[in-house]
Amino acid sequence: MSRILAGNWKMNLGVAEGTALLRAIGDHAVPAGSLTTVVFPPLTILAALARERRIQDPKLGVQNCHAEPKGPFTGEVSPEMAREAGAELALVGHSERRRLFCENDASVQAKMKGVLRAGLKPVLCIGETLAERERRETRDVLSRQLGRALEGIPARAPLWVAYEPVWAIGTGVVATVDEVAEAHGWVLEELGRMGRGSAAGHPPVLYGGSVDPKNASGLAALPEVDGFLVGGASLAAETFLAIGDALVKAEHAI
């Protein structure tokens, strides 16, 4: 499979800035088939970017959506609405949604089903807190989050997984290469146990957590890492593309 470079723009950028960034990313040539690129812009500019998007530009995703297709949910957007606006993928269970907006395993599972119902590809975010890691509960947390989110989801359903240690998101602290390799190995084992991975292939497992051009090469060299979900460094074409180049170089070196 090609490596994956995903950028979560969070609550940043307007239409003009977002369009310029989308085009700058699309203008950067990479070897055919070596890198799949996607960005998750704010919902307010998703439709505008979809109208301007060229074939070489990144795919578009939505950062969040409600589980239901419609209803009395003021301020929410359904997966079907996100797809109509131009989304092809959806982030589900991001740690900021869990921590700041009280999402839990049950709501993440419901959103997974809604995203798949609408024909979007889910990017399921999982990861442990610092306290959980210090208690050596990382593997149990990842197993629980995967199991509950994917309960009732067909094994052949489209899926990307993003491992994001909560303590490394937006903090400038990045997990060590050994820590990432270990955690991704556990995720792959769990996916295999659930019938979602085999020697023939597995859902892509991305790493997210303060990835930047300085640490991207070492992380990209890990065979357990299929790509990155990038936060702050995705807001500038230069840094985002440098991370993508690290993925391409690592893929060719393997």
- pLDDT by residue (tens digit) across 45-75? 999 999 999 999 999 999 999 999 999 999 9
Range of the domain at 193: 3-253
Residue 240: its pLDDT value, please?
Answer: 97
Mean pLDDT calculated for residue range 210-238: 94
pLDDT tens track for 108-158:
999 999 999 999 999 999 999 888 888 999 999 999 999 999 999 998 899
Note the pLDDT of residue 25: 97
The pLDDT assigned to 131 comes to 87
Residue 250 — very low, low, confident or very high, per pLDDT cuts 50/70/90? confident
Indicate which CATH number applies to the domain containing 58: 3.20.20.70
| Number of separate domains in the chain | 1
Q: Residue 168 has what pLDDT?
A: 77
Is residue 195 very low, low, confident or very high in pLDDT (cuts 50, 70, 90)? confident
Catalytic residue positions, numbered: 94, 164
Q: pTM score, two decimals?
A: 0.94
Question: Is it the case that residue 253 has pLDDT exceeding 80?
Answer: no
Residue 170 in this model has a pLDDT that exceeds 80: no
pLDDT at 173 exceeding the cut of 80 = no
| Three-state SS sequence of the chain | CCEEEEEECCCCCCHHHHHHHHHHHHCCCCCCCCEEEEEECCHHHHHHHHHHCCCCCCEEEECCCCCCCCCCCCCCCCHHHHHHHCCCEEEECCHHHHHHHCCCHHHHHHHHHHHHHCCCEEEEEECCCHHHHHCCCHHHHHHHHHHHHHCCCCCCCCCEEEECCHHHCCCCCCCCHHHHHHHHHHHHHHHHHCCCCECCECCCEEECCCCCCCCHHHHHCCCCCCEEEECHHHHCHHHHHHHHHHHHHHHHHC
